[in-house]
Chain A
Amino acid sequence: MSFSVSLRDVTLKYGDTEALSDVGLTLEAGKIYGLLGRNGAGKTSLLSLLAAFRKPSNGEVLVDGRPVWENIDVVSRVALVREGGDFDDSETVLATLETGSLRPDWDGDYALKLAERFELPLRKKVRDLSRGKRSVLGAVCGLAARAELAMFDEVHLGMDAPTRDAFYKELLAEYIDRPHTVILSTHLINEVANYLEEVVIVDKGRILRHEDVEAFQNMGATLTGPADVVDTAAAGLNVLAEQRLGGTKSVTVASALDPQTRERVVEAGVEIGPVGLQDLFIHLTNPDRTGA
């Protein structure tokens, strides 16, 4: 039993500022979603609503078809791990893991197994953990919660590359073993792209796009081949990124290629590949806009 998600005309305000504006979003149960957006786009706000951390200023937030706010049956099976986790810093790692037993489906043995695998020092106070280990503790809590809706908000921050890789693999293994709904919010788009089934892009408090990964990848293409041939093939197309190595060039374009164009460029010796999710994300969220 994994949880679906539905937001209907949801607005969330912080004072006079609208973090989310009239958001409508439906996520089917039992899939892995990527939640992408630039800084301040509204990703964390959206996740906070799904975990009943916050209440919408307007609209309705349903998880498993039920209102999530103060709904014990729902929130006890929803896990949101925020960057750095929500821990009592004066507690030990072990005591923090034991707090998870408040959840009906908490798997303490799994938590300890993960703690050993990720080399978490059980007797150490949370406040004494490095940033990376703190992130790992959050990830372990999120996984061992065995939640029907598990959300990881920038949980990878501070983790080194091997740890991130191990976390994604563990997440996938857990998902295959026990299908549930997962939402990964991250800026490391290329790292998680292979794990995602659908992608939601949030921009300026609104849902910009919500498609399956294949649909995103078909919104553009990567053309690789002899530089002059690639330049000819890409002429007139919206070029997102270019790379050149010797006489070989790779160009990412934001336009889907029609069958005739595809045939023509393939015959000219150009390889066509899917567009990188990150390149497309940058394109869709306006590369001319800068900001932290």
Chain B
Amino acid sequence: MADTTLANRRHTLGFALGGGALKYFSGWIAAVVVLASALPPIIAQYRSIDISAWYIAANSGKIFTAIVSGIFLYTLLAGMIAQGVTRRELAVSLGWFGLLWSAALGALAIAMFLGEHALYSAFDWSQTLQGDGGETRLDSVGAALEFSARYPLVYLLYFTGGAIIGAAAYRSDWGWLVLVPVVPVVLALDGALMRTEVWGPGWASAVTGAANGLGTWQAVAVVLVAVAAGAWIVRGILLGTQIRAKQA
């Protein structure tokens, strides 16, 4: 690590965690990119292409991001404290980790949507986002860019949600119950930001669709506030977390 003076190591650690995670999962990410790029030309041999393959891949990245942040935090917490890192430092590091991870995956999502748009345009295919009963067609480069530009923020939202769950699950045996408020809130904000269909069964739509009436910039603002609040919650959970006894 480059600069590990006590004043700066929280930042250095955050970038090291982010870079390390991207490197660790680079094979997985590359596999998804290859798969999402290769499938449409193969499928086109048999039928017409009318959905965005990358949309499916990019959306799976949201859950993947939440899992990565939650598992990383849960797994690394004891090790970091054992290395003499304070909980406050870890909270800051996690912030940098989340920003770096979300920016990198978000940039990849944007690049892949634009690349896919170029490919689909060349073959006169339709780059359509297919949700539960709804369809949105990205019929120009601008539309593809406008839609995909939301991914860095939505990944950050999922990262924050995953971190809350990971921190709470470590802190308490019952901490995983924080899933109950976190998941619907994240899904609702995701729906508002991405303008996709409401997630989940009908009975849950009152919660997961609660923010769908927001305009784009209102949704961006609400998600930013939610991410900031989530980061504060993660910090608060970490500050009171005791390292668990080792199991025999």
| Chain A residues, Cβ within 8 Å of B239 | 70
- B243 engages A48 (CB within 8 Å): yes
Interface residues on B, range: 20 to 34
Segment at the interface with A among B1-9, B36-44, B125-133: B1-9
Establish whether residues B82 and A70, one from each chain, have CB atoms under 8 Å apart when the complex forms: no
The distance from the CB of A22 to the nearest CB of chain B, in whole angstroms, is 20
CB of A133 within 8 Å of the partner chain: no
> Which residues in B have their C-beta under 8 angstroms from that of A104?
4-6
Partner of A88, one of B4, B76, B240, B243: B76
Of chain A, the residue at the smallest CB distance from B2 is A101
B242: CB under 8 A from chain A?
yes
Contact B6 A73 (CB under 8 A): yes
Residue pair A54, B1 in contact (C-beta under 8 Å):
no
Q: Which of B85-93, B211-219, B220-228 contacts A (4 or more CB under 8 A)?
A: B85-93
What CA separation (Å) do A77 and B82 show in the bound complex? 11
Contact A100 B246 (CB under 8 A): no
Report Cα–Cα, A52/B238, bound state, in Å.
13
Establish whether residues A75 and B242, one from each chain, have CB atoms under 8 Å apart when the complex forms: no
- Evaluate whether A102 and B242 lie within 8 angstroms (CB atoms) in the complex, with A73-B6, A76-B6 already known: no
Chain A residues, CB < 8 A from B122: none
Q: Find chain B residues with CB under 8 A from A78 CB.
A: 84
Report the Cα distance A103→B83, complex, angstroms: 7
Interface flags, B3-41, vs A, CB<8A=1, else 0: 011100100010000000000000000000000000000
Q: Shortest Cβ distance from A52 into chain B, in angstroms?
A: 7
Interface size class of A (residues with CB under 8 A): 20 to 34
Across the interface, which residues of B come within 8 angstroms of A52, CB to CB? 81, 86
Chain B residue nearest in CB terms to A99? B83
B86 touches A86 (CB 8 A): no
A221 CB to nearest B CB, Å: 37
Contact digits for A79-106, partner B, Cβ 8 Å, 1 yes 0 no = 1111111111000000000111111100
CB nearest to A153 among chain B residues: B246
CA distance A55 to B9 in the complex (A): 23
Q: Which residues of A contact B242 (CB under 8 A)?
A: 53-55
Complex-state Cα separation, A48 to B239, whole angstroms: 16
Is the CB of B79 closer than 8 A to any CB of chain A?
Answer: yes
A155 to B239, CA, bound (A): 28
B83 to chain A, nearest CB (A): 5
A103 touches B84 (CB 8 A): yes
Contact with A along B70-104 (1 / 0, CB 8 A): 00000110111111111111000000000000000
Bound-complex Cα distance A53 to B79 (A): 10
Identify the interface centre among A54, A84, A100: most chain B CB within 10 Å of its CB. Answer: A54
Is B6 touching A72 in the complex (CB atoms < 8 A)?
Answer: yes
- Tell whether, in the assembled complex, residue A86 and residue B79 are in contact, meaning their CB atoms are under 8 Å apart: yes
CA distance A141 to B127 in the complex (A): 53
Q: Which residues of A contact B76 (CB under 8 A)?
A: 88
> Closest approach, in angstroms, between the C-beta of A209 and any C-beta of chain B?
25
Nearest to A74 among chain B residues (CB) is: B84
**Does chain B have a CB within 8 A of A36?**
no
B58 CB, min distance to chain A CBs, angstroms: 26
Interface check B180, CB cutoff 8 A: no
**What is the CA–CA distance of A237 and B36 in the complex, to the nearest angstrom?**
84
A1-19 vs B, CB cutoff 8 Å, 1 = contact: the mask equals 0000000000000000000
A71 interface residue (CB < 8 Å to B):
yes
- Are the C-beta atoms of B246 and A82 separated by less than 8 Å? yes
Q: Chain B contacts of A73 at CB under 8 A? A: 6
**A201 near B: Cβ within 8 Å?**
no
Contact A75 B84 (CB under 8 A): yes
Per the bound structure, the CA–CA distance linking A98 and B1 in Å amounts to: 8
- Which residues of A have CB within 8 Å of B87? 70
Q: Shortest beta-carbon distance, B224 to chain A, in Å?
A: 28
Contact of A101 with B81 in the complex, beta carbons under 8 Å: no
Q: How far is the CB of B2 from chain A (nearest CB, A)?
A: 10
Minimum CB distance partner of A98 in chain B: B1
Determine if A51 is an interface residue (Cβ-Cβ < 8 Å).
Answer: yes
In whole angstroms, how far apart are the Cα atoms of A149 and B88 in the complex? Answer: 21
Q: Are B246 and A88 in contact (CB under 8 A)?
A: no
Q: How far is the CA of A255 from the CA of B87 in the complex (A)?
A: 49
B86/A72 in contact, CB under 8 A: yes
- Pairs of residues from A and B, 5 with the lowest C-beta to C-beta distance, nearest first: A53-B243, A86-B82, A76-B84, A54-B242, A86-B78
What 4 additional pairs, Cβ within 8 angstroms, besides A70-B88, A72-B89?
A: A98-B1, A99-B83, A102-B9, A104-B6
Q: Chain B residues in contact with chain A, CB under 8 A? A: 1, 4-6, 9, 13, 75-76, 78-89, 239-240, 242-243, 245-246
- A interface vs B, CB < 8 Å? 44, 48, 51-55, 70-73, 75-88, 98-104, 145, 147
